[in-house]
Structure 1
Amino acid sequence: MRVESKQFLEELLTTSSPSGNEVEIQKKWMTYVKNFAHEVETDIAGNVIAIVNKDKPFKVMLAGHCDEIAFMVNYIDSNGYLYLTKAGGISPKLALGMRVKVLGKNRVIKGVVGVKAEHQGGAKDEIKIEDIFIDCGANSEEDIKKHVEIGDYVIYDLDYEYTLNNNLIGRGLDNRTGAFIVAEVLRRVSEINANVSVYAVSTVNEETNMGGAYFAGSNIQPTMAIACDVSFATDYPTIDNRRDGNVKLGKGPILSKGAPINKKINHLLENAAKENNIPIQYELTPRLTGTDADKIRFSGKGVPVALVSLPLRYMHSPSEIVNLTDIENEIELLVATILKLKGNESLKPLE
């Protein structure tokens, strides 16, 4: 990975992007893609759309959502402690004792999720969202309300780290890695005269309602779309491969198979992988994918979709893990697939 690209990935990973409050990260994504995109647009939902070859009628849409799971301040008690609700599928039991950032109305406030000491009985066996609270060191409700108000977002105070074997640990790798991937694919495609137009979209709200994907799909009306997200690596203890499948970190991007997925797009991806010696893996999505692909598919008159995912361990935990080689292989797979398109392909299953 070139130095500038790695720096951009790290910048995304150090920028807060709770679902519903993605403006800061979107500004950085937009600044980066302006260096090579022919056009850059935004929409009413908060998506950023970067385009190359807009004059080509065959439109390929790539969607990677930039938002991360988070908490929101739901209640402030008389002693200045903050109580929370969820913005996305965030687990309260993983929050105990974690340091957090409250994205306050004036500035970021540091805090910790309180936890009863084992000496005093310890935490409850079953932790619900209403059981956890944040201690920011405030002396009273009036004290904390100088900085924090109801609806402010709360994220974990964690940075990225590199570990053995080209692996990356971070908060919200789901799916700021996807936003990075679609930008990098567009950058490489912009350097070559492709036969199709490419719309790379950093989408919003995927973790809460997927509205960003629907807005983008309705506006662009693509010929085909590929959602770039993460999915479950199943190569660590406690996993049952008979139930959860066999997906490993470092063994390539994942293609989905199932009712939502257009088989012809998958064949294009598989052929590109074979011709370029890119390893791929598979997962099953028999009914829905649980990603932006579901909303894009139902936008406009209907859009044929595929899902290409990055293997990820410990999804929706404070410290997720992905592999940098998988990221590079996914970028190469998507670029190779796009560059092979002639612009007259039919994606109808019966043609």
Structure 2
Amino acid sequence: MRPFDYHRAETFDDVTSGQIIAGGTNLLDLMKIQVMTPEALVDITRLDSLSAIVPEGDGLRIGALVTNSAVAYDPRVRAGWPLLSRAILAGASAQIRNKATTGGNLLQRTRCPYFYDTSQPCNKRTPGAGCAAIGGGGRMLALFGTSDHCLAAHPSDMAVALTALGAEVEIHGANGTRRIPLQNLYVPPADRPDCETILETGDLITAVILPAPKSGSRQGYRKVRDRASYAFALVSVAGAVTMEGGAISDVSLAFGSVAPQPWTIPEVEQTLLGQPASDDLFRRAADLLASDPAPHPETEYKRALLRRNFIATMRQLTGLTDTTGTDIARAEA
């Protein structure tokens, strides 16, 4: 690890330059292998008002420093937004969840092996260096939203769930505080894959805002991985569905580990809305998930995997399949 300066922020005005650190569960690993070599760290763990979960209207405001474990086990989250709790518990180990923060989870870096290997060229790590994944091994890479400069996928489970739930991110910056849909936090790779979010110098994620839960919605998170625990997703599906009169009256979906950010496909939701649940409907909607060839031949398997797991999730969320023992829950709002 290279030498660096350390500064503990006492107020928001202290967050002006340097790499922000809170839990450090991703950053410190990257510093140890010199993938990230910040000259200065700014510790934000002493800032007020960032470590609580409080009501916001009929929703919740989750401070950026609230740990993943605290969110997952909060009784309000488990009752109204069970999808979020289940997604968090599907990721990492208990030790990491006890330390990792809400804001940090959203900003964690890709697990592309070429990003982690400093002997290989990576445009995300070193702009203009090239992308070793193109022409190399690519089993964990993305299906959607890639560019000729980067094929990496975003690893967060939490961000996928929050996207499906319509969460917003609160950002404090030089011009005050603003809120944006979580999905708008991320920037497509284009020709600068190192620019991953809209955050600028001095910007700080201060909270995640959950909207009011939809009464009676069934929520689920399905994660497919190489082993049953402590592994990043190959694909994941997050969904919230409300049924009325046997038809789908409301649906919100997000897909993980298939793009540089949590991925949504509005045409899929539009196909489902107002329709009675059926296998034929779900197959037609699944055809919209991955109709184009994968950007890397070794991720071609993800197209079929995503399709099958989308159908299985929709069958459970709409009651076509018994949900006993699955990651499906009903919001109790």
Per the normalisation by structure 2, the TM-score is 0.26
Question: Highest Rg: 1 or 2?
Answer: 1
Structure with greater strand share of residues: 1
Per the normalisation by structure 1, the TM-score is 0.25
Work out which structure has the larger RCO, using CA pairs closer than 8 Å and 6 or more positions apart in sequence: 1
